[in-house]
Amino acid sequence: MHSHFGGEFYRDNSGKVQQRSLEYRFGEPIPDYDAYIALMGEIGYEGYFTYELCHPVLHADHTRAGIDFVDEQVKLAAEYMRNILSK
């Protein structure tokens, strides 16, 4: 079994990785992965939890981002999730 998480991430002024609110979510709240991971632990989930970047990746001016942006997002997502799992 596996589950996955997605989204985009950034490093705030304090250096902490945060989730970015994405326009295409139309005002929906940012997923609460802390709660999700806690619930997975409660049910004894032992499968994989992977990151996917499955939407078009664009810069703020809506030009297409390159593979360097994708690489950065993967690294930030991994750090973000490691921080949650280490609690």
Task: Express each pLDDT in 28-70 by its tens digit.
Answer: 788 899 999 999 999 999 999 999 998 888 888 889 999 999 9
Question: Could you give the C-alpha distances from 17 to 40, 67, 77, in angstroms and in order?
Answer: 22, 20, 8
Structural tokens at position 28:
């929906």
- Measure CA of the first residue to CA of the last residue in the chain; give whole Å: 23
Mean pLDDT, residues 7-13: 95
pTM over 0.85: yes
- Give the confidence band of 21 by pLDDT, cuts at 50, 70, 90: confident
Give the CA angle between residues 6, 11, 12 to the nearest 5°: 120
Spatial contact of 51 and 77, defined as CB atoms under 8 Å apart: yes
CA-nearest of 40, 51, 58, 36 to 6 is 51
